[in-house]
Structure 1
Amino acid sequence: MYGDYKVLLEQLKFILCSENIKIDESMKKYTTFKLGGACDIMIFPSSEEELIESIKCIIKNKTPYFVLGRGSNLLVKDKGIRGVVVNLTKLNRVSIEKNIIRAESGANLSNVSIIAKDNSLCGFSFACGIPGTIGGAVNMNAGAYGGEMSQVVIGVKVIDLNGEVFYIPREEIEFGYRTTTVMERKYIVIRCDISLEYGNKEEIHDEMKDLMHKRKMKQPIEYPSAGSTFKRPEGYFAGKLIEDCGFRGYIHKNVMVSEKHCGFIVTRNENATASEVLELIDIVKNRVYDKFNVMLDTEVRIIGED
């Protein structure tokens, strides 16, 4: 493998320190599902400049790449990922000016929600329990409990497929249900600007505490998963359709449909594989379609080689 990427690796060493370049790195350590094979190369840019220069270098070398946050909406297949995984978790600085929060793409959503609360800013409590990053949340217009990124984002700084850097104002992002222009055009989020309203710190704290309790009660956070497995079909709820097919607690090899929330597929033990998750996804989709004539679409992103 090293010979295939020798030139690229030598160039990346001029941009990143050696500890931020890893070879043949297992993806199990970097996804909430704790599944998947190894990637050829993983890099950890720690500044905007390092990210931009790394992406330009990768593009110049015509090497495939995948951008990773906390891996919370992701299933990596068992033979891993070819090319470079650009891990953004070290690009996580957050600044605040009055009611505007500027967060780099690798910033933890929960941490940003706490910063908002500590500065008496309301409107971001919905994100307190989402185990992802700002970049991933903007990319897919993440949301929970009636809130979503489209309600608070005022603009994003991105890199396009040619390595060009520019700013996209809110009105040009075209937010949809779990999709945006950023996702469709495969932009990389560098930074996101969020506008919030002033509120009462204690009330914001109580709201976040209540949402975290609801999440703990209703979601199987005690098991590895990628979050909600399926998108909400128009006019239905995926979890209800799956439950009505008798799948609550359904076990398939080392994975299962959650007993707590049928919209989640979770692993039962460390022997689970991505292939088993994909098999269970197909079983669920086929049964739901046969019974209700509704085709479920996966919300979780599936990448890598079988």
Structure 2
Amino acid sequence: MTVLVNMIVTLGMIYVVPAGLRLIHPARFLRTARLWPLAAAPGALCLWLPRGAPAAALAALYAAACLALAARAPVRLPRAPSPSTARPAPSEIAVATALVSPSIAATALVAERAGYRLFGFDLDILALTVPHFHFAGFTAALVAGLVCRAVGGRAGTGRLARWAAYSVPAGTLLVLLGYFVDDWAELLGAVVLTGGMWAVALLTWREIRPSGADRTARALLATSAAVLVATMLLALWWAAGEATGIPHPTLTWMAATHGLGNALGFALCSVLAWRRLGADRLKTGTGTAISTGTTDRLETSR
């Protein structure tokens, strides 16, 4: 399981995070995205070293970059749907959650690489927290925010998109709190997160996929939506088993199915698809980039 988890985490650190940052705002995060692989390299390297001071020091370098990224999250929150309301837009809450999530993953990584049972958690749990907050944290929240930006103003689907943008961060937070409370609290978080991700999958399939300008983008979006249905069902099964004692998959089996599916089938496919969508609209002139602000939409002249 260790080798598989390390490969998944490396993918998240080196490619998924910087590619995702470009989707938030190409101009504001361009420099950060370009430099991110250099910042992530020590974090990726430490995964393959034995636990100890050298591995922990490398993890700390990565954690510093993640904390700097998290410090930019509050900038997202003042954005609001209209000047008359002080409440942040749901898409910005989701994006802010994405920016904070790698710092949680990196904190767990430093502790695990040092062999320190942070808050009393087993080292295996800390190790699995790292991919969880790179993918269920960063990528899931980011995609929920992008979907909300794209369809949040449409009649009928807008409410579901806004609910997804709220529930994915809420579910991620509840899962984190469940670590400190009990398995039932974690199950509640899994239910909320699964509901939000299934909403993202539905909206991706029905609203985003048909707008893809090429077959590759549509195939990537279809794959990401279909994979989410299966992987989140596995997450519910595991959380329910932990809370109730019913037979459920082992952590090794979850890493090989839920973890690998989310990393490759959902996260990687989603990032690649959304980058193609943004590039297509900039080339054809049919709309603004999907990531330039709260009010941006895939269709800007309807």
Task: Please confirm whether the aligned pair reaches a TM-score higher than 0.5, indicating the same fold.
Answer: no
Higher radius of gyration, 1 or 2: 1
Provide the TM-score with structure 2 as the length reference.
0.26
Normalized per residue, which structure has more strand? 1
- TM-score, normalising length: structure 1: 0.26
Where is the helix percentage greater, Structure 1 or Structure 2? 2
